[in-house]
Structures are given as C-alpha cells and as structure tokens.
Amino acid sequence: MTLVADRVTYRRPDGGFVLPPTDLTVRPGRITALVGPSGCGKTTVAHLLSGLLVPGSGSVTAGGVDVRRRRGRLPGHTALLDQDPVSASDPHLTLRRALTLSASVRGVPVDPDALAVEVGLDPALLDRRPAEVSGGQLQRACLARALAQEPRYLIADEATAHLDPLSTTAIARTLRRRADGGLGVLAITHDLRLAESWADEVVELETHAP
C-alpha cells in the first residue's frame, strides 16, 4: 500500500495561503524527506496526507482508497509525530499511560518498556508526566506513542527541529530501523543536509506566492 498525494491543492479558510498542485508519494520501507523553507506548505502537505485536511482539488489515497479522518482520529494506517511534543501531550497523563492509550485506540498489544528502549528512552521515565522530562525525552516518548499504534506510515513533521543532538540521533536511528522493517516514513524538515543524511529520497517544496 502506497500513500499518494496526486495534484493536491489547498487554500486556508481565510484565503491566506494556497498550496499549488503538488504530487508526493510515500512508499513502504522508505524514508521520504520533504524539505523547503518556512511557509512553503510542508505542514499543509503533512495534514493532507494524514487526513487532517481535505484537499481543494486532487486526491490523497492509501492503496488506492481515499484518505479521510474518521471520528476525529487519523486513519488507522497513519501516525503523526509533531514538532512540538508539549502541545501534542496530555499534561495529566504519565508517558506510560499516553502510550498504552494510543495502542488501545487501535486495538493492538504493546510493550511500553520495549518501545521506550527502542527510542532511546529510560523506561523509568515512562512513569513521569510531560512536565517532568526534558523536551528531547518527551519527543522520544511521543515517537514511542506513535509507533505503539503500529501504523503503516509515520509522518514526522519537523520532529527534530528543536532537539539536542542525542535525541535527534535516537529518533533518526529509530526511523531508519523501522523503515528497514517496512514502515513508510515522511520526514518533513527545513534542513536539507539532515534530510540527505537519513532519507532514501528527498523532495523539495518551493515557496509559492498566494
């Protein structure tokens, strides 16, 4: 199953931004990096691919079937890793609880400690809340939470933009290992050098005037 954006366009409700016809394919077992300057529409493309936004024209399909959000949730085949782990986390839940809830929504079994180790996180930290860990630790926990859903595709939107080198390396290694195991990864970044160092394919998105 391949995740495909075919000539998709999008205009914000306020009319302030236009995404011109854009094509993008995310394949199983590969990391596709989408790069470009701030404001060029990278996050818009991510939200179109994940079903959070509906294209004005064109189509987004997974295995030939239209991608749509269901009951406020992402499609079961896709997980999203945001660039801001604080806003993406419930401050009242421990990291362990957030991870297990994520898996239960999809109805899949999960070993929280094993996932923590995979993303380079001390399992003891899972019993803390978001405010009790560093930004890098929280982002690794968010990655574990995304992987707990057993998605076919992971969309990582500037997931390492504000992290220390240790956390960046841990996340990059995890995504590489998962891609080698069959996961399709879309890694969105403004850093071309970083994209070229870990992606199988680099797609550049240019800025277009509204």
**What pTM did the predictor assign?**
0.90
| 181, two tokens | 């195991």
Q: Cβ distance 75 to 67 under 8 Å?
A: yes
Q: pLDDT tens for residues 94-125?
A: 999 999 999 998 888 999 999 999 999 999 99
* Domain range summary for the chain, segments of one domain joined by +: 3-204
Task: Indicate the average pLDDT of the chain.
Answer: 90
- In three-state secondary structure terms, 3 is strand
Query: What is the structure's pLDDT at 180?
Result: 97
Query: What is the structure's pLDDT at 69?
Result: 62
| 63, two tokens | 């295995």
Q: pLDDT tens for residues 50-96?
A: 888 999 999 999 888 888 766 555 667 889 998 899 999 999 999 99
Task: Give 162's pLDDT tier (boundaries 50, 70, 90).
Answer: confident
> 123 to each of 64, 149, 176, how far by Cα in Å?
39, 18, 21
Q: pLDDT tens for residues 3-44?
A: 999 999 999 888 777 899 999 999 999 999 999 888 889 999
Query: What is the structure's pLDDT at 184?
Result: 97
Cα 89 off chain centre by: 14
| 210, two tokens | 């509204």
> 188 to each of 34, 64, 89, how far by Cα in Å?
5, 23, 20
**3-204: which CATH topology?**
Rossmann fold (3.40.50)
Q: How many residues does the chain have?
A: 210
Q: Cβ distance 58 to 9 under 8 Å?
A: yes
Give the whole-angstrom CA distance, residue 99 versus residue 1.
Answer: 26
Query: What is the structure's pLDDT at 74?
Result: 63
